[in-house]
A and B are shown apart, each in its own frame.
Chain A
């Protein structure tokens, strides 16, 4: 696959499906014609870096695709924040995100038997939070594309530059964007559950330890989001990423240890007037759930420890390489 193929593949990701093939064929011919023209002028084949300069001159795939879909809308606030190429994807992601968040909120309200009059304010909060996070992510992607027209490899997962070497690693903006969206959903769910003191399903309730640690959970998730947002703007801050990951893993390990020390993670609130046999059966179920939690926490501890070691090694390697 040549550089031009990879470039065209990136442009194609943002083109309307029914016109994609046609536009890409034409664009491919125009790019090759320009390259041939340049080769005729120089009397030799173009080097990879000269080819790259031509592609850079064409512009970032996001901007190029945007020119072919001027009627696709965009987000403006004084200047264009999200261009037409990204806008349709933005609307789709926002819609899916909102749908999941609303569905979870409704399920939580029903499962936890929360007052219905609070549901509207919770849904509004979700709508504001999800819109803000998703919009921020897309604005940052658009800005990165505008500021760095020669960096588009992250769109296809292939290197965009022949000059880029593994000694200059970068955090994929797509990874950072995904992380922000996922952490926002987790944060919303955690906030929803942990701000409800009697959270639980049926006769089962979360043990008090979860609520004692709620602030730490929210801080950890928020810190993760901030780190991802910073790395979205500065994908070259790999050492910062590794450092923050170490902090995140340490905090996770501490939280897991505290949770493990509690010994009980789900408690039983037997319904009033329940038959002793039924209470016994429910107590058995709680014991089984707690066993699952215990093993789940042990596995999480092992995974966090492994990731911590990996990140410490990565951090040290990056520090050595300057």
Chain B
């Protein structure tokens, strides 16, 4: 039960930063499988059935641009972050850094953290 709970919470947590990771990695052009590999090499394993539909969703939201092109004798769909995507990515990164800073303070605990938190207020 606790394993299942942990897995659910972990997935929930990952869902939040997955979009940010994809938008950031797609500063350079990638096709689906290559993007998955690039993210995995950086320690972020994403299930294919999560990543590929996510790419299409981000594109439909205008955050990614895509283009079909032939490479290695096969048609591939290359994705790159759009101008709107870059703006959103910058805002999400700020947000993420803010959350990270807050979490660090919360997890430090004790009076020092309380002082910081009061300061933040």
Contact = CB atoms under 8 A, between A and B. Distances in A.
Contact of A70 (B34, B48, B53, B75): B53
A23 B56 contact: yes
Given A29-B33, A33-B34, A67 B74 contact: no
A316 interface: no
Interface in A156-195: none
Contacts, number: 42
A30 B49 contact: no
A34 interface: yes
A109 B85 CA distance: 62
Interface stretch (A58-66, A119-127, A132-140, A289-297): A58-66
A123 B32 CA distance: 51
Interface string A44-81: 00000000000000110001100110100000000000
A137 to B, nearest CB: 25
Given A33-B33, A34-B33, A26 B74 contact: no
Nearest to A70: B53
A98 to B, nearest CB: 32
Nearest to B31: A29
A261 interface: no
Number of chain B interface residues as a range: 10 to 19
A63 B32 contact: no
A34 B74 CA distance: 13
Nearest to A63: B49
A216 interface: no
Given A64-B49, A68-B56, A70-B53, A30 B75 contact: no
Contacts of A58: 48-49
B49 A67 contact: yes
Interface string B20-46: 000000000001111001000000000
The list of the 9 closest CB pairs from A to B, nearest first, reads: A33-B33, A67-B53, A30-B33, A30-B32, A67-B49, A26-B77, A68-B53, A29-B76, A64-B49
29 contacts: A23-B56, A25-B68, A25-B75, A25-B77, A26-B32, A26-B52, A26-B77, A27-B52, A29-B32, A29-B75, A29-B76, A30-B32, A30-B48, A30-B52, A32-B74, A33-B31, A33-B33, A33-B76, A34-B48, A37-B33, A37-B37, A58-B48, A58-B49, A59-B49, A63-B49, A64-B49, A68-B53, A68-B56, A70-B53
